[in-house]
């Protein structure tokens, strides 16, 4: 941008925008059904049966990968807390 004197000025910096996105929450009920809660609106929706099957399968895979990640880190001498979020979700059948 040029000023009245004709000297170029760098563009003004705008303040960084903080993300306005809110977290969504996936709730696993005791009977195995899933609920999705919107952090932005607070709306809670029940997840349909077919989607629930797919999501639970992915969560189980995530749990297994998390355990593998923790094992590798521990074997290399890193300290990993027992509640490390590597997919440590209890999905055992009751």
Residues 19-29 have pLDDT tens digits of 566 889 999 99
Six token digits for residue 90 = 């209890």
Please indicate, yes or no, if residue 43 is contained in any of the structural domains. yes
Domain that holds residue 54: 24-75
Please indicate, yes or no, if residue 31 is contained in any of the structural domains. yes
Sign of the alpha-carbon dihedral angle for 71, 77, 83, 85: negative
CA distances 8 to 3, 11, 12, 29, Å, are 6, 9, 12, 62
Please indicate, yes or no, if residue 64 is contained in any of the structural domains. yes
Please indicate, yes or no, if residue 16 is contained in any of the structural domains. no
The answer to whether the CB of 57 falls within 8 A of the CB of 63 is no
Please indicate, yes or no, if residue 94 is contained in any of the structural domains. no
Q: CB within 8 A of 60, min separation 6: which ones?
A: 91
Please indicate, yes or no, if residue 9 is contained in any of the structural domains. no
Q: What is the structure's pLDDT at 85?
A: 60
pLDDT average, residue stretch 4-14:
72
Please indicate, yes or no, if residue 3 is contained in any of the structural domains. no
Residues 35-58 have pLDDT tens digits of 999 988 999 999 999 999 999 999
Number of domains in the chain: 1
């Amino acid at each position: 941008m040029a000023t009245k004197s004709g000297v170029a000025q760098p563009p003004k910096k705008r303040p960084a925008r903080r993300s306005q996105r809110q977290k969504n929450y996936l709730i696993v009920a005791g009977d195995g059904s899933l609920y999705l809660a919107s952090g932005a609106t607070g709306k809670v929706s029940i997840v349909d049966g077919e989607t629930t099957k797919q999501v639970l399968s992915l969560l189980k895979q995530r749990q297994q990968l998390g355990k593998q990640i923790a094992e590798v880190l521990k074997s290399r001498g890193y300290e990993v807390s027992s509640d490390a979020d590597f997919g440590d979700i209890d999905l055992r059948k009751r």
